[in-house]
Structure 1
Amino acid sequence: MRAEAAAMDQLVPATLSPYHFFSAAEWATFRGREALTLTADEVRRLRSLGDTIDLDEVERIYLAVSRLLYSHVESSQALFRQRKRFLRGSTQVKTPFIIGIAGSVAAGKSTTARILKELLARWPGTPKVDLVTTDGFLYPNAVLERDGLMQRKGFPESYDVSAILRFLSAIKAGARHVTAPVYSHFFYDVLEGDRIEVDQPDILIFEGLNVLQTREMPRDGKFVPFVSDFFDHSIYIDADERDLHRWYISRFMRLRETAFREETSFFHRYSKISEAEALEVAERLWATINAKNLYENILPTRPRADLILRKGGDHLVEEVALRKI
């Protein structure tokens, strides 16, 4: 595992790298003169348990990210108008700009997605921004248990990829009232019958562990889309494995004192055991599921991202890598 952990740190500037690299201080200058539209209370509400992001971090990192993304949205709209003229009055309607956000468990994907959703919605014209996570596309626990996949939950095979592709295809086709399933971390399962509706947003943020995942190409050359084929821009939230491990364990132990105490929580049983036993459980879950998924499936997709936000041990971004164009 030591050699694999070392591979996490290969994001270094190189002449032949497809990325531009910036320190956090350098990246902060790209916010321009844009005003910060979030408040400290809003940031506290949006961040996940254990995430240390505050208003300063939003101003330092995420305001520039939202400015970059919005510039891509505007460019996409301009390109669409040019193509429409090229096609001599095509009646096609501009479809949503889709942003994919990937990264390990405990990296802070959910916080990043929620922060960017709020920032993007406050740009000129008040774009309509929706957020959907891949959690809802996990197979229900009953199916995972039937197929012996409960210990592989979060791995690519635990998702209904066909349903994801149908959802994103409908979004890109400009369909109205497209729905996605809803997942509950409290119940640790998909909520049967619950759906979230997405109705022609300007921007859709699609967040999940494996959204940049690829598969073997078909030998017959027939088109088999990847989830990322529907993305207009992609972001990978990166961190050293030792930090991800520590954040996961800390979050698990804090949940043991809060949400796990609710009798209807899927993990309620862990609130009844000793702290040492709970720590042993958390370490086992990290080693056998989350770390394994990270190295087998998630980390290998990092080079496919357009933007990589590299976090330090304090959960704050230290380095930004932006793909060259």
Structure 2
Amino acid sequence: MAYEELLARARALAGTGQRRILGLVGAPGAGKSTLAARLAGDLGPRLAVVVPLDGYHYANVVLEALGRRERKGAPDTFDAGGYVSLLRRLRSGEEDVVHAPEFRREIEEPVGSALPVPREVPLVLTEGNYLLLREGPWAALEGLIDETWYVQPAEEVRHGRLIARHVAFGKDPAAARAWALGSDEANAAVIAAGRDRADRVVDPG
């Protein structure tokens, strides 16, 4: 599906007259955040804002205490309940501004209340790995996202992006490749199991 068609659909969601939430889901390195940022940029800040799931990563100190630091990115390394609560607040439209957390890759930590979402912005673009997972606390996401797109580029493209990202944020090339094809790939299999629940599968290029 061409990017122009995706933009037109996002614009239509923003024009319904009420708050809508569009979810972008896919494996690590699929290009979810890039697509979300491009859509939001083209729609403009009066119509759309991006709220990533990654803001709900547990802090590293918590992961270390739980013995999950080496599996960072797995479903049980996120505050799924916190994310569900955020989406409920965003859908309700009862608050003038909702402040969401964001994930800072340069420090590999979430930062709270960093993303303001004004009530008058009609479209929230939320992107992350587990929007279609229906196990444990993730099952509460059912019905909170109006439309979900599964972002799926060619696997060699996704792997290349992922390795390059890990290198850019401090891993040596061998460690980056090992993480991308190990921990990240295990998570990708979990994510792919929800693909059939997506409203559409997209490769914006």
- What's the TM-score once normalised by structure 2's chain length? 0.88
Structure 2 counterpart of 1:169, from 83, 88, 95:
88
Q: Check conservation: 2:14, 2:47, Cα contact below 8 A.
A: no
Give the letter for the 1:99 counterpart.
L
| Distance in 1, Cα, partners of 2:87 & 2:27 | 22
| Distance in 2, Cα, partners of 1:171 & 1:298 | 24
Give the letter for the 1:143 counterpart.
V
Q: Which residue of 1 aligns with 2:130?
A: 210
| Distance in 1, Cα, partners of 2:74 & 2:187 | 6
Structure 2 counterpart of 1:288, from 171, 182, 188:
182
Structure 1 counterpart of 2:4, from 63, 66, 74:
63
- For residues 79-98 of structure 1, what are the structure 2 equivalents within 5 Å? 94=18, 96-98=19-21
Q: Which residue of 2 aligns with 1:105?
A: 28
| Distance in 2, Cα, partners of 1:169 & 1:194 | 16
Give the letter for the 1:197 counterpart.
P
| Distance in 2, Cα, partners of 1:233 & 1:283 | 33
- Report SS of the residue matched to 1:175: coil
Q: Which residue of 2 aligns with 1:308?
A: 201
| Distance in 2, Cα, partners of 1:241 & 1:248 | 10
Runs of 4 or more above 6 Å deviation: none
Q: Which residue of 2 aligns with 1:264?
A: none
Q: Check conservation: 1:63, 1:119, Cα contact below 8 A.
A: no
Deviations 1:62-96 (Å, cap 9, x if unpaired)?
2221112333444x44xxxxxxxxxxxxxxxx4x1
Task: Classify 1:69/1:163 alpha carbon distance in 2 versus 1 (closer, same or farther; 3 Å).
Answer: same
Q: Check conservation: 1:144, 1:150, Cα contact below 8 A.
A: yes
The count of corresponding residues between Structure 1 and Structure 2 is 203
| Distance in 2, Cα, partners of 1:215 & 1:225 | 5
- What is the Cα deviation at residue 181 of structure 1? 1.6
Q: Check conservation: 1:141, 1:150, Cα contact below 8 A.
A: yes
Q: Check conservation: 1:181, 1:196, Cα contact below 8 A.
A: yes
Query: Is it true that 1:178 corresponds to 2:98 in the alignment?
Result: yes
Deviations 1:5-49 (Å, cap 9, x if unpaired)?
xxxxxxxxxxxxxxxxxxxxxx5xxxxxxxxxxxxxxxxxxxxxx
- What is the Cα deviation at residue 238 of structure 1? 0.4
Q: Check conservation: 1:213, 1:228, Cα contact below 8 A.
A: no
- Report SS of the residue matched to 2:135: coil
- What's the TM-score once normalised by structure 1's chain length? 0.57
Q: Which residue of 2 aligns with 1:243?
A: 157
Q: Check conservation: 2:68, 2:77, Cα contact below 8 A.
A: yes
- What is the Cα deviation at residue 244 of structure 1? 1.9
- What is the Cα deviation at residue 205 of structure 1? 0.5
